[in-house]
Each structure stands twice: as structure tokens, then as C-alpha cells.
Structure 1
Amino acid sequence: MMKKPHLWPSLCALAVSNVLSPIVFAADNDIHLKEQEPLEHISVTGSHIKRTDLEGASPMTVLTEEDIARSGAQDMSQLLSKLPIAGAGTFATQGNNSDDTANGGAAISLRGLGANATLVLLNGRRVAVSSFAKNIDTSFVDINAIPMSAVERVDIVKDGASATYGSDAIAGVVNIILKKDFEGFEINAKAGDTVEDGGGQTSASILWGSHAEKSHTSIILNYFHENETTLGDRSYSKSANQTARGGSDSRSSSGNPGSYIPASIGTDGSISTLSGSYDWQPDANCPADNNNGTFCVYDYAPMMTSTPETTRVGLSVFHDYYINNDITLFSEMMYQHNESVVNGAGSPSFSELYILADNANYSSINNPYASSGEDLTMRRRITETGGRQKEAESDSARLVMGLNGMLGQWDWEVAYTYSYNRNYEFGKNGYVWTSLLQDEINAGNFNPFSTTQTATVIDEISVNTTRNAKSTTSAFDGTIAGEIFELPAGHVGMAVGFEYREEDLSDSPDELFLRGEIFGTEATEAYGSREQTSVFLEFAVPIFETLEAQLAGRYENYSDFGNTTSPKVALLYTPLDTLTFRASWAEGFRAPSLVQLGLGNSQESPELIDTQRCAYTGANEDCTAQERTVNFSGNPDLKAEESTSYNVGGVWEVIDNLSMGIDYWYYKVDGLIDADPQYVINTQGDNSSVVVREASSTSTPGRIIRIYDQFANLNEQTTDGIDFDVQYMFDTGEYGEFGLSYNLTWVHEFEQVRADGSTVELAGRYEHPEYRWTGGLNWAIDDWQATTRVNYISEVSYTEEQNTEGYIDAMTTLDLNVTYIGFDHWSLTLGGNNVLNEEPPFSKIDFMGYDQNTYSAIGAFWYASATYRF
């Protein structure tokens, strides 16, 4: 019979314990266990010096393998997004659509400081970032490329760690430890489905591990599939017209039938509306419920993907060869292939097309300006080609080869790492070659006043798009650590090391996109490479028997922006066996990403308000957020973001098996790299070199054609708050063992300061909830184990810029699961997430009726899983 695992390992005085259950421990993450050698020193994430105890001066959260199984999470993004420490900038595949620039990817953002300010490691080493950036410029490690079946535990360092790990560790570190020491054979299968439409999932994995006389090998195969969920699958998001719920009508001004306005057409095809004399008018055949008097609007929401259809398969191989008792050769090999399919509405045009007055179709009775005799431009959606569909494929591979061992009493390790992420994106349907479409309009073959076209014309103007990108990271690193001398309170530990790293990125969109001949798609173009060399030094100094100091520093040289040095000082004070205090101070940095430095011709269509023109017209098209074309570009002169952080806290074991932890944390980031097109309109809306407008014969500014924006070191931001947790375990005997946990993150302040000195407070506002907490109850008796978990996100108000009254309500969800382990070799689990089927709270400013970046629309999800192991 399979041995029943202990429900509650002994509680260790770590910073803040596990968010998902009250089990907390840390284990060795970079050396194998040898039966003939008892483990006396262990490696803990956040330090290069091994310790004889587990607690350190930096606050940590540790998710064990048991915690991961009990979480009910289907993949890494679901697991990490529920952490109270996860904030704005965390994203999953939810929200992937035809306008996304990183379909299929997912990332974690600690403290809301951004996915690019959170360093994600595998077994303590870096991996290549996604070659598709999120939201044009956000570089991130795609956690969807990490199979959950291969994860042994997750260590999260919750203070600045640049002194230990270098760039991107401003907010902290997520170190994912893999099952490279797995022993035996295991098969896992899992299936689940939502009570709503869409979203069903299946997954499976096979694990095998074996010791030979001088080696150990682990092999892991994984498979995951998720069905598509569309916005139309949920009653609250099936329409972009949210007025019935108290929101806005966000249906697109580009419809079919379309809307028209007289325009001046240049000999080069340039278009300027005659805005001083005319207004937009809908096609005369526009249905009454789509006619808002100015535009024939279009409800694009029902066709849009909420969560894409996704398939993931992968192979991981870990091998250790024991050369002798002191030296081990180790290798890690991983490959992951992910696919996703994203659907959207037909391609929209916003004044890219025109029809001349002498066109054969001009006199159509549906033309609202047929009697004017003026050339016209239009806002019209090409629904005749069908909805847009993208297929995204991602290949991720990683190879680590290294040696570690002992040199006297010193631990040493050297390794070479190579990893890459390659993305492909294929526009399979619904994309239109603009110049060919215009030619067909001019020839009278495509009639914009008709909602149907001939199949020949549709075939002629339709085009398949491509985009491919590759990101590579290769690195040599080495560390040696040991004790250098003894003080009255103990031995002084020291670690010294180096890293040399090369990074390359290329992101190549379709050539037609680069020439501006495809509308209805968004992509980025970026190229760059860099070399980085760093050296680091760390000391563990026992000042007194009860007081220990950690001193660390790291010097880095980048080939593309210069040098930086990051120090850290941390203290651990243990006046009593049951009471521990800790404090840390650190400086950190984030090097500008290769995308931010080398971004080429890249466009996005965010919804922006034309504040300049609104002041004159008061018109809906100017005073409400509308899709507008923004051309972004990189900036080779960017400097690194620099940060200062500190943490003060402690852990108190009040009585046996009752522990409380609290930490105050603070971060300040200077030189925040950003691009803000709404701010550009507000402050430079009359600068024709920045905001390009149509010509106007009056004092009223012409309509916006295009906005140019560039990334720059614009902002400063500060945030602080409290992490608090309580853990209590007790055994009732005949009624079983129980464990209670409560983990909370409170954000006191999240302030951003713009380049002009203006400030905005985000704590408690849109996408920045003030409180997030998770409460859990675990129970075990005989062959049964059960978990109950409550997840809470507090209400938020809208930001000042959104100029919207009211609140987005709090959201509370309940997760349950039960496991039976009474069969030989088998364990069976039945569970549900959000079992009460809570809907995401209503948001007035989101066209789908809720904030996709903060709340999940999966609804109640029930699953069953089985594990066979011997």
C-alpha cells in the first residue's frame, strides 16, 4: 500500500508561509542526495550560501508538491495567479484575442510591479523570455511553457533580489524547482469541465525515475488540452453594449453596414475628412438597433475568444552522473510545444478606405451622402471574409550541463545553460490586403454599400499573415561557497561567483504588415542582442548567537546600456526559539528589455479619448474611448530602472502548532520605462509631429489619424503594504487532523509619478485591489484528505483618468477537493474551483463587462483526477 503522507510537516519559521495551504518547508534545490552522506547544509532560494536551518532574512512563500496538488490549479498560471502577492501585470491566456501581441503566454507579476520586474527561474537559473512581448513591450518568462507535472515546488522570494540574481528581480524571484530527483513510476490523468459553456480541460503525465550505481535519471512526459471559451459563452460578456448593466455601449464604430463621411482624396491615396462641413452618417440600411445617429455600430464581443483553445505537450529529462564522491555531472533537458487558436470579429477599417464620387456603386440608395457628389471615406467592417482567426505556436527548449561538488569544505558549481523560445503566429482567416481591397472598390467589384460580396472578390482580397520570433539566452555561471573563518558566534560563510550571458531577440511580422497593407491585426517588430557579465559576493555573518547578517553585492556590465551595482543587507534576529525578526534593504535594477530598446514598426489600436478635439465638439466619437492607431518605437538611449526596497517583519510561534507572521514591505522604482499614448494626446495633442490629424479649415482640430509614441524613462512609482499570515494545526484523534491558514496582502500605497510631476494613486483602484487574501482548511483522517479554500479580492474604484463613478465589487470564490488514497498504488481526487459559480464583478469601463486582468470568467469548474504510482 502506498504510504500515506503526513498532513502537517513541522512548521518552520519562514517569512510568510504558503498561500494555498499551511504546509511550509524548503529543501535542497541544486544537489543530489547521497545515501552515504547525511545532508547537513541545504540551499535556500535567495542565497548562494548553504545553511543548516531553513529560515532566512528574506520573506518567502513556498508551495510544495502537496500544495500544488491540493490547489486545484490546472496549470502554472492558475496556480500563481491566486497568490495574494500576485498583482497587476499578472496575466494568463484569458483575454487572448486577435488584438493580443502574446497569444498563448502567461506571466506572474509580484507586488503589481510588472511581469518584467519579476524574475522567474528554473532550478535557480534563468530561461529565455518569450519572443512575443505582451502589450507591445513587456518581456516575460512564459510560465505556460513550464509543465506543472514536472514541478516539485515553487520558492518565492518576496523582497528585492538583484544583489543575488541580477536584473529583473526588483519585485522578487519565483524559483520553480523541478522533479529532477523523482524515483519510481507514476501516471497521472485529469479531466474537468465548467458548468457554463466552453473551457473543458484534460491533462495527463508520465513520470519515471531510477537510480543506478553511479547515476540517476528522471523523465517526464506531459500533455494538456483546454477547449475555447468565447465572450459569447457568458451572459454578462456576450455583448459589448453594457448599458443594460449600467455600463457603456462599446460596440465598434466600424460596422457592416458601415458609416460614411465626405473626404478629400489625394492623388497618393491620402484621405482627409471634410470635418468642418459634414458629420459621420450610417449606411441607410443600418438596422435600427445598431444606428446611434452617427455610426452603424457593430457588436464584436460574441465572436471574440475569452480563453483560447490550447494544446501543450512536453518532455523533460534530468540526469546526474556521480563521477566520484565529490563531483557530480548534471544535465537538464526540456522541450515544450504549445498551440493555441484565437478567434475574433471581422477586420475593421477606420478611414483607411474610400469610394470616389464617380464609382459605379456610388449612387446606391444606401449611400447617406449619395446626393452630395463628394468622395467618401468609411468606417466599415469586412465581415464578408469571416471572423479573424490566429493560430499561435510556441516551442521552448532548455539545456543545462554542469558540474558540482566539494573542494575540501567548499561547495562549488559551474554550468552552461542554453534556452530558447520560438513563437509562430499565423493569420488563418479574416485578414484583408488593404491595397487590393481598395483596388476592388475602385473597379466596382466590391460594393461597400452591400453586406455581401462575390466569392471571387473575397478570395482576391483575403490574405494569410505570418509572424515569427525567437528569443535565446546562453550563459556560463560558476559559484563557490564555504566558511572562511570563525567568530565567537559561529562561522562566517562566503559565496563568490560569476555569470556571463548572451541574449538575442528577433520578432518579424508579416512583410505586408510592415508596409501597412494589412488592417485588423496587431504585431510587433523588434531586433536586439546584448552581452552581460556579472560578478557577485555574499557573506553570512553571525554577529551574535541570536543575530545574523547577510551582506550581498552584484556588479553587472551590459553591452548596450552600461554598468550597475546592486547591494543588499539583511538581518535575522532570533531572541527566542519561538520568535524571529528579520529586516532587509536592497537596491535593484531592471535592464531595458531588448524589445524596448529595439522595437521597430509596431502598431496597436488602444481605446483612447481625443481630449483636444472633445473640448471643441463634445461629440461622442471624441469624448469617449475609441480605437485609435498608435505607432510605437523603441529607444536605444533607455537607462535601467533602478529600485530601492526594504522589508521588516517576523514570525512568532504563539503556542505549539500556532504561528503568526507579519511583514511590512516597501518598493520605490525610479526611471520607470513606459509609453502612455493617452498622456501624449492630453499633453501633445496639437503637436502635428506626434499626433497626426486630418486637415481642418476651422479652429476645431481634425480627427486623429495616427499617434506616435516612444518608450522612455518617464515615471517613478512607490508601493508599500503588509503581508500577514496565520497557521494553526491540531489533531483531534478520532476526528482527524486539521489545519487552518490565512494569508493576506494589503497594499497601502501604489503611487506613480509622471515626468511632469503629476501623481496618480492606484492602490484600491482599477486592477490594483487593496486587499487579497486566501483562507484554507485542510483535513485528513485514515485514507481521506480534503481541502477547502476561500479566495478574496477586495472592491476597487476607478482611476481619476477613467472619470467614472462607482466601484467594482469584491469577489469571493470557494474551492473544494477530496482525495482517497486507500487503494494500493492509487490516489483519486474529486474537486471543484469556484464551486458557487461566482461571476466576475461588473466593470463599467470594460466592453466585456468585467476586468479580465484581475478576475476569472471560468466560473464553476469541476474536475476528477487519478494517480497510479509504484
Structure 2
Amino acid sequence: MYRKTLLASAVLTALVSPLHAAEQDQSIERIQVTGSHIKRTDMEGPSPVLYIDASQIANSGARDLGELLKKLPVSGAGSFTPQGNDSDSTANGAAGVSLRGLGADSTLVLLNGRRIAVNAFAQGIDTAFVDINSIPVSAIARIDILKDGASAIYGSDAIAGVVNIILKEDFEGTEINASIGDTKDGGGAEKSASLLWGHGDEKAHTTVILDYFKRDETFYSDRDYSKNANQSSRGGSDLRSSSGNPGSYIPATIGSDGSITPKSDIYNWQADANCPADDDIGTYCLFNYAPWMTMNPATERMGLILNHRQQLTDSISGFMEANVQHSRSDVHGAPSPSFGEFYITADNPLFTSGEAINPFPGEDLTMRRRTTEAGARHKQMESDNQRLVFGLDGQVAEIDWELSYTYSRSRNHEYGKTGFVQSTRLQEAINSGEFNPFSPTQDPDVIDDISVHTTRSGRSVTQAWDGQISGAAFALPGGDAQYALGVEYRKEEIEDNPDELFLRGEVFGTEATTAYGSRDQYSVYTEFSLPLIEKLEAQLAVRYEHYSDFGNNTSPKIGLQYRPTDSLMLRGSWGKAFRAPSLVQLGLGPTQESPGLIDTARCALTGADEDCQPQERTVELSGNPDLKPEKSDSYNLGIVWQPVDALELVLDYWNYDQKGLISTDTQYRLNQYNAGIAQSTFDVIREPSSGGVPGRIFRIVDQYQNLGGQKTDGIDLDSRYHLDTQYGAFQFSYLLTWVNSFKEIKADGTERDLAGKWRHPKWRWNASLDWTLNDWSATARVNYISKYDDDIDAGATGTVDSFTTLDTNVSYQGFKNLKLTLGANNLFDEEPPFSAADFMGYDTETHSSQGRFAYVKASYRF
């Protein structure tokens, strides 16, 4: 580390010495804004940036960052919160943001302008993301959202844009905050508290923030619309699981190695004779897993943030940032299901003794059965995030310089508490007759013997050394050209380690991932701000990067801004961006998932629901060390108009073209495979064929590939108006995003426009009104998501209606040093619109199931 820091210092010193800085007007303060390494005299530049300050965050009523960012119109498909977490989720309790719907791994999240280690456990097996809920809202001074590609400025992952979270660092005094809140329909009660302390003078300043947050668990059974997986009464489908208790059986051939081959070419599955009539559909005994499952996990978080700045000499300052956050989440899922992994032979003691009756006399059997006797699957997740930044900055000969080191680590642990069953022990118990699959009750000692506690641990580390200089370069007709020049070295490591039972495949009916990887990355970048004439300024930037695992990448960017009048600015930007393959996508070990897939080969011949409706299929997925980076071209054209001081209107057109998208897209590859089109690193293993009909899918083998791409374009509108009256001050604001198109491009070049389709609404907007008068203040905010087509890939052909909610609060601060707030989110208790795509009856990624949430807050400052 010392050598690399020394090398960076030497390089920067060599660069600084020959440069000559022009005279600058020292009376005008220059600030650095997100989207540029060059300090400016105003916030607006060639690229569109949305600024959200601490007061707006407080007025939003959001208790964590995931909730806040997900409501923004610029947030799209791929944003997620802990809502919908269950025992099959791979990143329980975490939250990520996806700008423009291009994916959480295509949105770069920064903290005070520097990178954060990604979560050790990827979302959905492969999506690398920063857990934004690890940053408490009480510590945030401002959030800057750069709404165009920015790899030329910040490097990899900034395809869709950048979310830069700025922490409070100049706080003075002491402030104590506390709040409590609860939902109308039960579950999800919350409490939080924070302590802020800050003190300083002209030589030094220290800010300390302590934060605590707790939320109770919510189950799908807490909401009328999601308590039953059979959604047929609401116009949907019966989405109960085919693995129930009592179970379903079919004769099978049992190999000497224990392999199981159902005789589906001769027999059909048959439900257990004791299956309740409401659950018996003739082939399977169905299971309603909704009441067992978590809608929102129980969550508890606590953290400490320390920011310190020290004036060392007249021209040199030192700074330090230290963040520590501990989180815990608990989720519950339905009892473990089996889909033909176990067998019972014709000579089993249960049959020979008469304790059970073989529904297919003389045949060995396999089964679909859920081990409800072992209870619901309960996972507890713990995560620890640490981040430490040391740096120096200063000025020499009119040149600003900065050197820093960043260490960021995410450490995750997952504990399977109950409901997890070891397959080898269960099979042995069936063979001996100790476990009777045909009985509704089991010996508690046998259940204890087959039940196991599982563990999983992960670690993600990012270390970075960076140095930068900036200043005036040369004179132009419009003023002095400004430059920035920097170098960076970054090392990334990740581990995801399930226990031996997972690695040996002995914990059935659940999912786990295993991944290892590390890499080094070097980069050098430069940026120029060129005032070509008095009213026209250009931004030029380029960044060169070298990765140890896949090679080099160069990203350029060009921006222009023109001010024909003091009240009007025209701007535009174009750039190339990229996303390096995540370490998980490169180094994922064989991992099983159970997506809902349609078997197009059998559906065309049978027309049966089990073939034509999405069914859970076992997919064995692995990483691909030959992956290439995703690349993107994007441009933005905008107008900023401020006709009067109180009114500002911002209109931007944006366009992204992303290529080489890293994906599995198993349904697409299965469709191609079934159509006879060869698919590399892809295979389908089936049960025996019968009568010219392919056997049922037993297992699919898949691997990550650079498949196709996506294109999207649309318009953003940001308008703000301030009005002072005798009845108080009013602040109106309106944020809108309209998606014109969102094209999904397959590997064969075929396109599908998803705008207005599943999880891609064309319109999102927020309209808010803030009012203040003396000691009173109030906020009302309307959140709107337009309707869109249901998930046709899941066999849902209807429309998901629009969703409108109202958040409001009122505050009084007439007491000395005390501010009290009473508020409610989703004041009118709107239910999420119906979707037939999954058992819970609504789109968990797009809409909130929280319902009305009322809260009170108190803030005392001294």
C-alpha cells in the first residue's frame, strides 16, 4: 500500500510541476458537483443532475434509502427493497437502485464521491449491487443523481448514471431524533432513533452520527389480497405449489446409484388419498405457501459514522471518514419442497408392515412432498459494513490536489435456523420406515434428526488509492479553460461460501450460491471544461482502464452547454460507458435456482397447464470466465429555463444503447433449444419420452453469456415553483419520467419493446407541495405509476392498473429546540394493483404492499 501511495504521489508531483495556472477570481466560490472532477461556480452543467437535500428526504417520510429512491420517477425495473424477500432470496434484507430500469449493477453508487464495496451476496444470484440501506437517512446531507452515462468520469458500472450520497460533515451542536410508526393492516411496525453531534472551528471539525432502526416482519397472510396462492377468485390463476403435504406419487425406476427416473411415459402423478378435496387436482396435491412466507422481513440496523477534517498547514488539510453498520434480517419461507428427489421402494417396511398402502402396488415410487413437519424455513441474515477513508488535499501554485486511500468491506452471514432438511438423512429415514411420507404426523425425534442448521458467509472488499490535480490550464475567448487529471488503483475481492451441506447438494428445496474472485484495476483519466466563447462551454473527458481479468477499456464523453440568455440554458452530452463483468458472474460455482419456466416443447403437444404455465424448474447455473464487458452509448439533450427567480423548468431527452448484456435468459435459451437451435453451454435433461412427447424437464444446465442488449429513451421533466404569501411560503415541485421505448434485444437480434409492459410503466411522477408558516410546516406528495401489461412470459395476459398514493405530514416547532411531526404514507391505504403473474397477486418489485403507514417523529436540538 505504501509503495502504491508513494507512486501515485510521485506521478502527480511530476504532472503538477510543469503546469501553469492562470489568474482566477478568488471572490467566486467554486464547488465540485457530481458528474465532473472540475470545480464550478454553479450547480448546473452539461449533464442532468437531480439534487435531493436533507429537508426533502425528511419531508418524504422515507425511513430508509431503498424506500426513498424506489419512489423516484428515474428509478425503474431492477430497483429492489427487502419487500418480497423469502427463504429463496439470495440477498435478504438488502436494497438496490436501478436508474432507467437498466439494472442495479449498471447504476454506480458512491459515498462522498468514492466507491463502496458491493454486497457480498449478489441479488438474484448474479446482480452485484451496493446495499443502499446500509447508509442511514439521518446521516445524509444531500443525494446527487447523475442521469446519464458517466464511465469517462467514474469508470465501470456508471452505464445508467450515478447515485452520489453526500454525508453530513459540518454539523454543529447536538440533535436527537426518534420516531415510531405502524401499518393499518398489521405487520411492519417501525421504530428509529439517531444522535448527531458536531463541533469545530477554523482549524478542525468533527461530526459523529449514531443511528438505530427496527422494523417488524410482515407476512403475505397479513394482506387479504396475498394470503392465498390460488388467485383464481381475483381473476388470476391457481399458483399453489405442486409439492404439498400430503404429497403426490408416481412409479419410478431407482438406479443402483440412487438416481430416480419417473415412469411418466406410463403413469401420471397421483395425489395422496388423504389430500383435501380443495387441494386435489387429480395429479398433484397442491400447497398454499402464501401464509408461511415473509412479505417484508424483520429488520434491525445500527451504525456509527465519523467524519473529521483537520487543517494541517495553511495549504494542506487532512480528512477521514469512518463508517460502521450492522444489520440483521429475519425471513420465513414455506417448508422445504421436494420435486422427485426422494423415493420409496415397493419393499419398504411401511408397505410390508401395513403402516402405509402403496398407491401403485408393486412399484417403486418417487414423490412431490413438502416437509411441513420440520416447520417453515427461517433464515437470519447478519451483515457488517465498514468503510474507512484517509486523505490529504490542498493547493499549490493555484493547483488543487488530493490524495486518498479507501477501504470498504461488506461482510455477510446467513443462518438457516429451522425448516431445512438434509436429503440423505431423510432418504435413510424413509428407507428404514422411520419417516412415513403417507402419514400426517411424524416422530419428533426423527424430525430433529433430519433437520439441519445451515450457514453461509460472504465477504466483499474494495480498496482504492487515487490522486487528482485540477486547476486552470489556458485562456480561451470565454475565459480560462479548467482541467482535472487523475490516477486510480483499485483492488476488488469477493467470496460467497455456503456450508458443506449446500456444496454437496444435501439441503433440498432451497437455493444457495458459491462464488470466488479477485482482480486489480488501474485507470488514468482527464477532463477539460472549455469556455469556447462567453456563453458556450464544452466538457471533454476520457478515462482509460486496465482490468487484470478481461483487459482494457477507454470511455470518452463530450458535453456542451449554451446560455443564450441569463434565464435559459441549452445543454447536451454524449458518452460511452461500460460495466465490467461482476466477480460473481465470472466466478460463480454451480448453483441451483428454481425459476418459473414454460416448457414450449411439451406445451405445443400437450396443451397442459403444467407445460404451458410457468412451473418451477431446477436450473444449474455457473459463471463464465470468458465474459466481456457490457458497453453502452448514451446521449442527453436538455433545456433549463428560469424565467423568474421563483420558477425553474428543466426538460431533458435521454437515450441509452447497451450492448453485450450479461444474462442467462433461461426461458429464451430454452425456447431456442426446444426449437432445435444449438445453445452453447446449455443443456436440458428430461424424463423418458412417451408417445412422441418429450419427457418432463428434470434439470437445465446454463451459464452466463453476453446475450443481446437493451435500448431505451424518454423524457424527464423537473419543475419547481416558490410562492410567498401572507398565508405562508409554498414550494411546488413536479418530477416526471416518460419512457418512450425500452427495447429488449435477444442474441439473434430480435427486439421486443417492453415500454408499457411488465415492470416497465411508461409514466412515473411525483408531485409535491411544501408549506411553511411561522412554527408550522406541512408536506403533501402524490406518487404515480402508470398502468402496464402483465407478465406475458408468466402466462398473465391482463393489465396491471395504475397506482397512486399520497404521502403527507405536518410539523410543529414552537417548543424550544423541539420539532414534532405527524405523518402518514399512503394516506388513503391504496392496495397495490392486481397482477396474475405470481402467487402474491401483485408486482413486488414495482408496487408497495405496505398500505397506510402512520408515524410520529420528534427532534430535539441543543
Q: TM-score, normalised by structure 2?
A: 0.95
- Aligned-residue offset at 1:745: 0.1
> Does the 8 Å contact 2:834/2:842 carry over to 1?
yes
**Alignment of 1:395 onto 2:387:** no
Partner of 1:868: 860
| Distance in 1 between residues matched to 2:115 and 2:170, nearest whole Å | 20
| Distance in 1 between residues matched to 2:101 and 2:202, nearest whole Å | 48
Q: How does 1:679-690 map to 2 (within 5 A)?
A: 679-685=668-674, 690=683
- Aligned-residue offset at 1:617: 2.3
> Does the 8 Å contact 2:351/2:357 carry over to 1?
no
What one-letter code is carried by the residue in structure 2 that aligns with 1:726?
S
Greater Cα offset, 484-493 or 118-127: 484-493
Which of 844, 847, 850 pairs up with 1:852?
844
Partner of 1:299: 288
| Distance in 2 between residues matched to 1:795 and 1:108, nearest whole Å | 21
| Distance in 2 between residues matched to 1:448 and 1:773, nearest whole Å | 53
Partner of 1:723: 716
Greater Cα offset, 512-521 or 582-591: 512-521
**Alignment of 1:86 onto 2:57:** no
Q: Name the Cα RMSD after superposition.
A: 1.4
SS in structure 1 opposite 2:351? coil
Partner of 1:599: 588
What one-letter code is carried by the residue in structure 2 that aligns with 1:750?
F
SS in structure 1 opposite 2:661? strand
SS in structure 2 opposite 1:86? coil
Partner of 1:639: 628
- Aligned-residue offset at 1:703: 1.4
> Does the 8 Å contact 2:346/2:358 carry over to 1?
no
| Distance in 1 between residues matched to 2:718 and 2:325, nearest whole Å | 36
| Distance in 2 between residues matched to 1:624 and 1:134, nearest whole Å | 25
Partner of 2:665: 676
Is there any run of 5+ residues in structure 2 with no aligned partner, and where? Answer: 1-25
- Aligned-residue offset at 1:832: 0.6
Which of 804, 827, 831 pairs up with 1:835?
827
| Distance in 2 between residues matched to 1:663 and 1:837, nearest whole Å | 33
| Distance in 2 between residues matched to 1:154 and 1:749, nearest whole Å | 27
- Aligned-residue offset at 1:38: 6.9
> Does the 8 Å contact 2:253/2:261 carry over to 1?
yes
Partner of 1:346: 335
What one-letter code is carried by the residue in structure 2 that aligns with 1:440?
A
Greater Cα offset, 686-695 or 322-331: 686-695
Q: How does 1:671-710 map to 2 (within 5 A)?
A: 671-685=660-674, 690-710=683-703
Q: How does 1:611-690 map to 2 (within 5 A)?
A: 611-685=600-674, 690=683
Q: How does 1:149-298 map to 2 (within 5 A)?
A: 149-212=138-201, 214-298=203-287
Partner of 1:770: 762
Partner of 2:568: 579
What one-letter code is carried by the residue in structure 1 that aligns with 2:714?
G
Distance 1:338 1:455, change over 3 A: same
> Does the 8 Å contact 1:262/1:369 carry over to 2?
no
Q: How does 1:793-808 map to 2 (within 5 A)?
A: 793-808=785-800
Which of 530, 535, 543 pairs up with 2:532?
543
SS in structure 1 opposite 2:668? helix
| Distance in 1 between residues matched to 2:818 and 2:661, nearest whole Å | 51
Partner of 2:374: 385
| Distance in 2 between residues matched to 1:722 and 1:211, nearest whole Å | 44
Q: How does 1:121-160 map to 2 (within 5 A)?
A: 121-160=110-149
- Aligned-residue offset at 1:765: 0.6
Partner of 2:6: none
| Distance in 2 between residues matched to 1:234 and 1:158, nearest whole Å | 36
> Does the 8 Å contact 2:241/2:287 carry over to 1?
yes
What one-letter code is carried by the residue in structure 2 that aligns with 1:719?
T
| Distance in 2 between residues matched to 1:274 and 1:488, nearest whole Å | 83
| Distance in 2 between residues matched to 1:618 and 1:384, nearest whole Å | 35
| Distance in 2 between residues matched to 1:390 and 1:506, nearest whole Å | 20
| Distance in 1 between residues matched to 2:353 and 2:273, nearest whole Å | 10
Greater Cα offset, 613-622 or 665-674: 613-622
> Does the 8 Å contact 1:49/1:495 carry over to 2?
yes
Q: How does 1:382-531 map to 2 (within 5 A)?
A: 382-531=371-520
> Does the 8 Å contact 1:327/1:404 carry over to 2?
yes
Q: Deviations over 1:111-130 (max 9, x none)?
A: 00000000000000001000
- Aligned-residue offset at 1:365: 8.7
> Does the 8 Å contact 1:692/1:707 carry over to 2?
yes
What one-letter code is carried by the residue in structure 1 that aligns with 2:92?
N
Distance 1:366 1:229, change over 3 A: farther
Partner of 1:755: 747
> Does the 8 Å contact 1:773/1:792 carry over to 2?
yes
> Does the 8 Å contact 1:364/1:370 carry over to 2?
no
> Does the 8 Å contact 2:117/2:409 carry over to 1?
yes
Partner of 1:779: 771
| Distance in 2 between residues matched to 1:435 and 1:787, nearest whole Å | 59
- Aligned-residue offset at 1:176: 0.1
- Aligned-residue offset at 1:740: 1.4
> Does the 8 Å contact 2:538/2:560 carry over to 1?
yes
| Distance in 1 between residues matched to 2:303 and 2:653, nearest whole Å | 40
**Alignment of 1:325 onto 2:314:** yes
> Does the 8 Å contact 1:477/1:497 carry over to 2?
yes
What one-letter code is carried by the residue in structure 2 that aligns with 1:595?
V
> Does the 8 Å contact 2:596/2:794 carry over to 1?
no
> Does the 8 Å contact 2:393/2:403 carry over to 1?
yes
> Does the 8 Å contact 1:815/1:835 carry over to 2?
yes
| Distance in 1 between residues matched to 2:695 and 2:326, nearest whole Å | 48
**Alignment of 1:739 onto 2:728:** no
| Distance in 2 between residues matched to 1:240 and 1:425, nearest whole Å | 27
- Aligned-residue offset at 1:56: 0.7
- Aligned-residue offset at 1:392: 0.3
- Aligned-residue offset at 1:496: 0.1
> Does the 8 Å contact 1:260/1:368 carry over to 2?
no
- Aligned-residue offset at 1:731: 1.1
Greater Cα offset, 368-377 or 818-827: 368-377
Is there any run of 5+ residues in structure 1 with no aligned partner, and where? Answer: 1-36
| Distance in 2 between residues matched to 1:380 and 1:799, nearest whole Å | 28
What one-letter code is carried by the residue in structure 1 that aligns with 2:109?
V
Distance 1:660 1:702, change over 3 A: same
| Distance in 1 between residues matched to 2:574 and 2:28, nearest whole Å | 31
| Distance in 2 between residues matched to 1:84 and 1:309, nearest whole Å | 27
> Does the 8 Å contact 1:281/1:368 carry over to 2?
no
- Aligned-residue offset at 1:558: 0.3
- Aligned-residue offset at 1:39: 6.7
Distance 1:558 1:371, change over 3 A: closer
What one-letter code is carried by the residue in structure 1 that aligns with 2:697?
I
| Distance in 2 between residues matched to 1:637 and 1:212, nearest whole Å | 54
> Does the 8 Å contact 1:364/1:449 carry over to 2?
no
SS in structure 1 opposite 2:326? strand
Q: Deviations over 1:242-284 (max 9, x none)?
A: 0000001000000000000011010111011111110001000
- Aligned-residue offset at 1:658: 2.0
| Distance in 2 between residues matched to 1:518 and 1:103, nearest whole Å | 19
- Aligned-residue offset at 1:237: 0.4
| Distance in 1 between residues matched to 2:124 and 2:80, nearest whole Å | 11
- Aligned-residue offset at 1:54: 1.9
SS in structure 2 opposite 1:302? helix
**Alignment of 1:810 onto 2:799:** no
| Distance in 2 between residues matched to 1:752 and 1:427, nearest whole Å | 37
What one-letter code is carried by the residue in structure 2 that aligns with 1:574?
R
| Distance in 1 between residues matched to 2:830 and 2:849, nearest whole Å | 9
- Aligned-residue offset at 1:652: 1.2
